[in-house]
């Protein structure tokens, strides 16, 4: 969506820039055409004066020149035309030229044109405001330099003839002429001349500092300003036009077409927001609750997750499935519990038989061997001693076996002492350092809970001994106000924990499967944390017996 909005804005900007460039190039060509026409008109007027001066040299009568009805010179030189001698004296003239000698300002302008006996190109004499009333003076000499003809016309008269030949109508176009000192000498159209001159100066600066031509610039109000120099008169012609007015309405409207992607993107954003809020998030919440259901938390699935109807229907189906699963698991747990109780009873029976019969018989046999050792000849005494050592090892193994089958410390002294003795036995016989920690106030727990905790610790420590490759472990029993928790942690090789308990058997973790079954039997919660090379941490939390409702 960000990409679409970026493309929309970029496309609109590029489209607008392309239209501005189009208007700029079009006005650039128009400005060049107008500047060229102004230059040609000035050259043409000077050529006319030059021909006039040659035809009527000092031998001709100057009066015939200016009074000739065939010339129609006042159509060109609306401010008058005059003949001057080499010393700057007016010989004759027509139109307003008869008043030139009496006007010191005009006399100074004409003298500046005739300096050194060779007339300059043009000269300006401002008649005040508006700028279009400025008068242009053009002079030309004959081939011998004896006669000078001077013509005068207003800028308005000149530009009216030029603008009538070049079509510039149809748009709010402004045409401005400035002289070499950047003074406005002609203005057509509505524009802020001072602001235009400021932009014009910036454009000249950019032109002088750039290696590529810079002939147009956009004003602060969207005006496209273009200039072209008039080299014959050292003037500059400026065209100012709002660029958007030069573009057809249909073309202007097309620049906003890419912007239609923005509301489309906003609609997409709303759809995505709706999807996230009503579909994705409820599904994610339902996924986490289903994961908790897999680990035996049947209450988590009961909390509504919201969302669309389909998600709610899916949760309802999962809730019904959880009820049936819980009933099935209760049946299985009852069956497994009965098997476990039978197994424990069988272990007790075997432990009693081994302790009361087999172990006692071997002890009696060992006593007979000791008595025999005192009466055998010296050469047979070594064999008797060997039998004595063998019987002692057998007695120790039987005692350890009966202790595993029937944890006497658990029955007589409680869970804490039994776990302490278990950790000491593992440390003594298996060579692994086991740290035992008891937290909270020790007390007796229900028999099934104590037996389950003991068997879980026993199975976990056996996994540490035979599978983890650990050098040390920590066994912690903690008592809370209502329950207890058991923690077994090692620094072994670790493993990748299966995603669900159902994968314990398929991945070969039968010990974890047995631990999980015992956790389920006492309605506790188990958490397993392990990574390859990072050790393993198993924690079992039993909340305590729930009071039955009255």
% the chain with pLDDT above 90: 7
With CA atoms as reference, report the closest residue to 83 among 70, 97, 73: 97
pLDDT digits (tens, 9 = 90+) for 460-501: 998 898 888 888 999 999 999 889 999 999 999 988 888 777
pLDDT tens-digit map of 1-39: 777 777 777 777 777 777 777 777 877 888 888 888 888
**Which segments of 240-357 does DSSP mark as H helices, in order?**
249-254, 261-275, 281-294, 309-353
Residues 23 and 151 both lie in one domain:
yes
Same domain, 342 and 418: no
Nearest CA among 210, 266, 202, 197 for reference residue 238: 197
pLDDT for 68 beyond 60: no
Same domain, 397 and 424: no
Q: Are residues 313 and 445 in the same domain?
A: no
Of residues 73 and 532, more confidently modeled: 532
- What's the domain count of the chain? 3
Which pLDDT score, from 0 to 100, does residue 253 have?
Answer: 65
Burial 368-403 (b: 16+ CB within 10 A, else e): ebeeeeeeeeeeeeeebeebeeebeebbeebeebbb
Q: What is the pLDDT confidence band of residue 222, given thresholds at 50, 70 and 90?
A: low
The pLDDT assigned to 129 comes to 55
Structural domain boundaries, residue 400:
278-406
φ, ψ (nearest 5 deg) of residue 468: -85, -25
Region 301-329: mean pLDDT is: 83
Q: What local confidence, expressed as pLDDT, does residue 70 receive?
A: 40
- Domain match, 126 and 21 both: yes
Q: Helix or strand or coil: residue 61?
A: coil
Q: What is the DSSP string of 349-367?
A: HHHHHIIIIIHHHHHHHHH
Whether residue 525 sits in one domain with residue 493: yes
pLDDT score, position 29: 83
Does one domain contain both 64 and 203?
Answer: yes
User: For residue 514, is pLDDT > 80?
Assistant: yes
pLDDT for position 83: 86
- Output b/e per residue, 307-344; b: 16+ Cβ within 10 A: beeebeebbeebeeebeebeeeeeeebeebbeebeeee
**Greater pLDDT, 84 or 218:** 84
Distance CA 539, CA 533 (A): 19
- Encode pLDDT of 277-298 as tens digits: 888 888 888 888 887 777 767 7
Confidence of residue 548 (pLDDT cuts 50, 70, 90): very low
Residues 326, 236 share a domain: no
264 in a domain, yes or no? no
23, 246 Cβ separation under 8 angstroms = yes
Q: Does pLDDT of 256 surpass 70?
A: no
Domain boundary among 198, 219, 253: 253
* pLDDT of residue 549 exceeding 70: no
* Domain end among 365, 389, 406: 406
- What is the structure's pLDDT at 86? 78
Domain presence at residue 235: yes
pLDDT tier, 537 (very low <50, low <70, confident <90, very high otherwise): very high
Contacts of 346 (CB under 8 A, 6+ apart): none
Considering the domain architecture, whether residues 328 and 445 belong to the same structural domain is answered as no
Tokens of 118: 């060779």
Determine the pLDDT at residue 116: 60
Mean pLDDT score, 73-82: 84
Q: Poorest-confidence range of 144-148, 189-193, 430-434?
A: 189-193
pLDDT tens readout for residues 111-141: 888 776 666 667 777 645 555 578 888 888 8
Does 145 fall in a domain? yes
CATH of the domain at 429: 3.30.565.10
Q: Which residues contact residue 210 at a Cβ distance below 8 angstroms, ignoring those fewer than 6 apart?
A: none
What is the rounded CA–CA span in Å between residue 108 and residue 494? 108
Q: What is the mean pLDDT of residues 425-442?
A: 88
pLDDT for the residue 550: 37
120: left (phi over 0), alpha (psi -120 to 50) or beta: beta
Is residue 239 located within the same domain as residue 121? yes
CA–CA distance, 146 with 448 (Å, rounded to integer): 139
In a domain, 268, yes or no: no
Which of 96-100, 197-201, 326-330 has the largest mean confidence?
A: 96-100
Give yes or no for residue 210 having a pLDDT over 60.
Answer: no
The mean pLDDT value of the chain amounts to 78
Last residue of a domain, one of 348, 373, 406: 406
Residues 17 and 142 in one domain: yes
Question: Does residue 193 form part of some domain?
Answer: yes
Residues 109 and 43 in one domain: yes
- Residue 474, pLDDT score: 93
Task: Give pLDDT, residue 247.
Answer: 60
With a cut of 70, say whether residue 396 has pLDDT above it: yes
Task: Let me know how many helices (H) and strands (E) the chain has, helices first.
Answer: 16, 15
**142 torsion bin: left (phi>0), alpha (psi -120 to 50), beta (else):** beta
Percent of the chain with pLDDT over 70: 79
| Alpha carbon 137 to its chain's center | 67
């Amino acid at each position: 969506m960000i990409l679409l909005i970026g493309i929309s804005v970029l496309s609109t900007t590029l489209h607008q820039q392309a239209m501005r460039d189009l208007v700029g190039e079009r006005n650039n060509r128009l400005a060049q055409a107008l500047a060229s026409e102004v230059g040609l008109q000035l050259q043409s007027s000077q050529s006319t004066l030059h021909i006039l001066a040659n035809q009527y040299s000092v031998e001709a009568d100057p009066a015939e020149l200016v009074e000739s009805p065939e010339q129609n010179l006042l159509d060109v030189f609306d401010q008058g035309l005059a003949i001057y001698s080499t010393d700057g004296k007016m010989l004759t003239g027509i139109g307003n030229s008869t008043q030139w000698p009496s006007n010191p300002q005009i006399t100074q302008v004409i003298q500046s044109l005739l300096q050194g006996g060779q007339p300059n190109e043009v000269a300006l004499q401002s008649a005040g405001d508006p700028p279009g009333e400025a008068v242009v003076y053009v002079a030309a000499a004959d081939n011998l330099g004896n006669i000078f003809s001077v013509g005068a016309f207003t800028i308005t008269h000149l530009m009216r003839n030029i603008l009538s030949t070049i079509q510039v109508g149809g748009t709010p176009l402004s045409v401005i002429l400035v002289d070499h000192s950047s003074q406005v000498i002609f203005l057509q159209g509505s524009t802020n001349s001072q602001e235009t001159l400021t932009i014009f100066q910036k454009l000249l600066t950019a032109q002088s500092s750039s290696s590529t031509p810079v002939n147009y610039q956009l004003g602060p109000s969207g005006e496209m300003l273009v200039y072209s120099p008039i080299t014959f008169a050292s003037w500059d012609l400026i065209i100012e036009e709002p660029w958007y007015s030069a573009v057809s309405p249909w073309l202007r409207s097309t620049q906003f077409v890419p912007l239609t992607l923005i509301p489309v993107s906003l609609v997409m954003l709303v759809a995505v927001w709706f999807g996230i809020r009503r579909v994705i998030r409820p599904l994610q919440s339902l996924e986490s609750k289903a994961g908790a259901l897999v680990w035996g938390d049947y209450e988590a699935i009961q909390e509504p997750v919201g969302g669309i109807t389909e998600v709610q229907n899916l949760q309802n189906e999962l809730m019904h499935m959880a009820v049936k699963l819980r009933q099935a698991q209760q049946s299985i747990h009852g069956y497994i519990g009965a098997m476990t109780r039978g197994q424990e009873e069988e272990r007790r029976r075997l432990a009693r038989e081994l302790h009361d019969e087999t172990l006692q018989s071997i002890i009696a046999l060992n006593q007979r061997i000791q008595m025999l050792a005192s009466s055998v000849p010296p050469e047979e005494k070594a064999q008797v001693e060997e039998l004595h050592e063998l019987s002692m090892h057998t007695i120790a193994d039987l005692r350890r076996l009966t202790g595993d089958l029937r944890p006497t410390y658990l029955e007589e002294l409680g869970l804490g002492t039994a776990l302490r003795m278990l950790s000491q036995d593992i440390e003594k016989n298996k060579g692994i350092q086991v740290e035992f920690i008891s937290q909270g106030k020790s007390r007796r727990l229900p028999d099934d809970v104590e037996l389950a905790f003991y068997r879980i610790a026993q199975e976990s420590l056996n996994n540490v001994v035979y599978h983890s490759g650990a050098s040390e472990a920590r066994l912690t029993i903690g008592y809370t106000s209502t329950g207890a928790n058991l923690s077994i942690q090692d620094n072994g090789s670790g493993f990748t924990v299966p995603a669900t308990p159902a994968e314990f058997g398929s991945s070969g973790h039968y010990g974890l499967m047995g631990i999980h079954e015992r956790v389920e039997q006492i309605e506790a919660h188990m958490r397993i944390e392990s990574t390859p090379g990072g050790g393993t941490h198993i924690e079992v939390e039993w909340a305590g017996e729930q009071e039955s409702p009255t």
